[in-house]
Amino acid sequence: MLEKHSTPEKIASQERFLDAYRETLRIASAARVAGVSRATVYRWLADPEFAEAKRVAAEEFFRQHRAKIQVYIEERCRWRQERERARRPMRCANLAKARAALAAKRR
């Protein structure tokens, strides 16, 4: 898939890098997992096929994490709505007291 004239070890290293990159989106840590240096990864990026594979891996990372973030945002919105529903009676009672105190001052 990656390079037609590569050794099986190089292809395996590139695949390990891409798998790790999909998880972290950090070249240094993904290179460490793959057992290669960052400089090696940057040399591999000169190959258009590998560069495209890296771009696709980054898109997968963002697609996956966008979904996680969206779920978190929805949970947070539900939590806020529930909290506001629980606080509404208290706010209404405090507002009524404040209005009564203001009305008493005006008399």
Find the mean pLDDT for residues 6-33: 93
Average pLDDT over residues 33-55: 95
Listing DSSP states for 17-84 in one string gives HHHHHHHH--HHHHHHHHT--HHHHHHHTTSHHHHHHHHHHHHHHHHHHHHHHHHHHHHHHHHHHHHH
Segment 73-94 shows an average pLDDT of 86
Least confident of 3-17, 39-53, 71-85: 3-17
Report the predicted TM-score, pTM, of the whole model to 2 decimal places: 0.61
Read off the pLDDT of each residue in 65-90 and give the average, rounded to a whole number.
87
pLDDT at 53: 96
